[in-house]
Amino acid sequence: MISDMLKEAFSSIVGQENVIDSQAGRLVYSYDATPNYQSMPDIVLAPRSTQEVVEIVNVCRENKIPIVPRGSGSNLCAGTVPVQGGIVLLFKHMNEILEVDEENLTVTVQPGLITQDLIQAVEKQGLFYPPDPSSMKISTIGGNISENSGGLRGLKYGVTADYVMGLEAVLANGEVIRTGGKLAKDVAGYNLTQLLVGSEGTLAIVTEATLKLIPMPETKKTMLALYQNIDAAARSVSKIIANKIIPATLEFLDQPTLKAVEDFSQIGLPTDVEAVLLIEQDGPAEVVVRDIEKMATICKEEGAVSVQIAASQQEAEALTTARRAALSALARLKPTTILEDATVPRSEIANMVKAINEIAERHQVDICTFGHAGDGNLHPTCPTDVRDADEMERVEAAFADIFDKAIELGGTITGEHGIGMVKAPYLEWKIGAQGMAVMKGIKHAFDPDSILNPGKVFTENVRKRLVVAK
Ligand SMILES: Cc1cc2nc3c(=O)[nH]c(=O)nc-3n(C[C@H](O)[C@H](O)[C@H](O)COP(=O)(O)OP(=O)(O)OC[C@H]3O[C@@H](n4cnc5c(N)ncnc54)[C@H](O)[C@@H]3O)c2cc1C
């Protein structure tokens, strides 16, 4: 509990209008996009500057109050659930583009900026910020950095980490550090920028970021390859890459996902096939035409029953928008939707998809699978109902088997959604006891009193999707 005196102190830092203290107001910030994790914060604060963040941290440090930084709460690992109470820190006022530097090809932003707003703003200047999580309409740059989010363009352009050049961050002791900068080359000491990327708000609070931009690709083409056999789709993925083509997008949807997406988006997607690949290439026109033609040939050779190239930019947009809506579409099927992101080397995609289907059958649960095939990053998604305790047991057991299988195939428990509370019980499976010890040492060095997003990443007692009410 936070005393009235401390609440007064917080209010004098951010202004009463930027404090949420009511039961109903705090309830909104007791959960995020992750199903069935909930815990009430004691207070919610929306600072307007780095200086205000520093002052808040200083009060929290002295009084050992947990701080949970929060962008839009769209994470899927219960990363912003304030499991030990304390403060939820909102960045809604710190959402400016501070500078677009066309000479150095960088953009400097505040953490609360919405991802899509950044992408659209730099596109107007002929520049390209590639990381495009499907949630980009709502997610913030601070959240993207802290989860190291990926997206549909990850295969060719990489993930958020590949675009973070410098950070300003407030440490748990209230000090402000600046890491990296606009430099294309910088090897001065440990790479603290990249250490903070993906650290899920557990090491520092990001208050500013300098991001890399690249020139906007000249053109883009989109195609859809339809399959009656998942193996054929997986073979096409491997053969495209083996032919030294790196498409901008190479996405996989299985039949149940396809059906849900078509029901949701109504754009005339075929629903009578086993799988589809959504493929995009961008770049100079002649390269795009050549690559699309070659990929169409490969898909047909590997058994695609049909290959359709989008006739117009609007048709292409409709296809990618429909793919981005996959989670929302599947969420309409049952009261609860659990989406995971087990990732394998792309050569193991077919084995992983088959294993997911076998595991679903063994545990008698429904699992639909879609994802970034080019990255080996799959999203097995289970439409379920948390009120059915028996089914939830089986769902949890099925996902544990899926993570186990991913690791057996040389993969990982999360490709882009992070650990948070959801994957904490499985982290050691991936990185081993020594890896855990090193990570705990880093956490202790940054945050000895564990006030920054406590209960995340290292929590070992949250095996089940528990509601943690306070
Ligand atoms: C429909 C849907 C589609 C999605 N698609 C994708 C996808 O394609 N790819 C993908 O990678 N993810 C995806 N996600 C997951 C999610 O959107 C991303 O993880 C996103 O980056 C979270 O951004 P956010 O602003 O909502 O962050 P939040 O959920 O608010 O926070 C995420 C983490 O970042 C920390 N954090 C936030 N701001 C700061 C800060 N300023 N300083 C320090 N720590 C901070 C939080 O403490 C938390 O640990 C999807 C989610 C949904 C609901």
Q: How far, in Å, is the centroid of ligand 1 from the Cα of 232?
A: 33
Q: How far, in Å, is the centroid of ligand 1 from the Cα of 43?
A: 21
| Ligand 1 pocket mutation pick from 50, 68, 75, 110 by most atoms within 8 angstroms of CB | 75
Of 66 and 271, which is predicted with more confidence? 66
Ligand 1 residue neighbourhood (C-beta within 6 Å): 32-33, 68-76, 79-80, 91, 111, 133-135, 139-140, 142-144, 146-147, 149-151, 200-201, 205-206, 327-328, 416-417, 453
Classify the C-alpha dihedral 453-67-178-440 as positive or negative: negative
**What gap in Å lies between CA 345 and CA 29, rounded to an integer?**
36
- Position 281 scores a pLDDT of 97
Q: How far, in Å, is the centroid of ligand 1 from the Cα of 228?
A: 35
- Position 196 scores a pLDDT of 98
- Position 347 scores a pLDDT of 87
- Position 90 scores a pLDDT of 98
Atom of ligand 1 nearest to the CA of 132: 8
Atom of ligand 1 nearest to the CA of 200: 49
**What gap in Å lies between CA 106 and CA 209, rounded to an integer?**
10
**What gap in Å lies between CA 315 and CA 191, rounded to an integer?**
42
Instruction: Count CB-CB contacts under 10 A for residue 390.
Output: 8
Q: Cβ neighbours of residue 251 under 8 Å, at least 6 residues apart?
A: 152, 277, 278, 279, 323, 370, 371, 372, 373, 374
| Ligand 1 pocket mutation pick from 139, 170, 176, 379 by most atoms within 8 angstroms of CB | 139
**What gap in Å lies between CA 231 and CA 59, rounded to an integer?**
57
User: 3-state class of 44 per DSSP?
Assistant: strand
Q: How far, in Å, is the centroid of ligand 1 from the Cα of 418?
A: 9
- Position 1 scores a pLDDT of 83
| Ligand 1 pocket mutation pick from 109, 115, 134, 203 by most atoms within 8 angstroms of CB | 134
- Position 467 scores a pLDDT of 40
% of the chain beyond a pLDDT of 70: 98
Mean pLDDT, residues 325-336 taken together: 93
The kind and range of the H/E element at 381 are strand 377-384
Q: How far, in Å, is the centroid of ligand 1 from the Cα of 419?
A: 12
> What confidence category does residue 268 fall into, taking pLDDT thresholds of 50, 70 and 90?
confident
Q: Give the length of the chain.
A: 470
- Asked if the model's pLDDT at residue 468 lies above 80, the reply is no
The kind and range of the H/E element at 395 are helix 389-408
Atom of ligand 1 nearest to the CA of 140: 25
Going by their DSSP bridges, the two strands 87-90 and 43-45 should be labelled as parallel
Structure tokens at 140: 């913030």
Highest average pLDDT, of 168-177, 322-331, 453-462, comes from: 168-177
Mean pLDDT, residues 156-176 taken together: 98
Q: Is 441 exposed, middle or buried (0-12, 13-18, 19+ CB in 10 A)?
A: exposed
- Position 466 scores a pLDDT of 42
- Whether residue 380 contacts residue 370, with contact meaning beta carbons closer than 8 Å, is answered with no
- What is the per-residue pLDDT across 426-466, written as a single tens digit (0 to 9) for each? 999 999 999 999 999 999 999 999 999 999 999 755 544 44
- Whether residue 383 contacts residue 333, with contact meaning beta carbons closer than 8 Å, is answered with yes
Mean pLDDT, residues 374-392 taken together: 94
Q: What string of DSSP letters covers 303-316?
A: T-SEEEE-SSHHHH
Q: How far, in Å, is the centroid of ligand 1 from the Cα of 297?
A: 37
Q: How far, in Å, is the centroid of ligand 1 from the Cα of 139?
A: 6
Atom of ligand 1 nearest to the CA of 69: 47
Phi and psi of 337, rounded to 5°? -125, 120
Going by their DSSP bridges, the two strands 219-227 and 306-309 should be labelled as antiparallel
User: Among 102-111, 240-249, 311-320, 455-464, which is the least confidently predicted range?
Assistant: 455-464
- What is the per-residue pLDDT across 415-428, written as a single tens digit (0 to 9) for each? 999 999 999 999 99
- Position 460 scores a pLDDT of 58
- Position 22 scores a pLDDT of 97
Q: Is the pTM value of this prediction over 0.85?
A: yes
**What gap in Å lies between CA 150 and CA 130, rounded to an integer?**
9
| Ligand 1 pocket mutation pick from 54, 93, 149 by most atoms within 8 angstroms of CB | 149
**What gap in Å lies between CA 204 and CA 168, rounded to an integer?**
10
Structure tokens at 93: 């006022």
**What gap in Å lies between CA 456 and CA 222, rounded to an integer?**
39
Q: Ligand 1, atom 39: nearest CA belongs to which residue?
A: 142
- What is the per-residue pLDDT across 36-81, written as a single tens digit (0 to 9) for each? 899 999 999 999 999 999 999 999 999 999 999 999 999 999 999 9
Q: Ligand 1, atom 13: nearest CA belongs to which residue?
A: 133
67-70, strands of its sheet edge to edge? 19-20, 43-45, 87-90, 67-70
Q: How far, in Å, is the centroid of ligand 1 from the Cα of 323?
A: 19
Q: How far, in Å, is the centroid of ligand 1 from the Cα of 361?
A: 31
- Asked if the model's pLDDT at residue 469 lies above 50, the reply is no
- Identify the residue whose tokens are 């799959």: 378
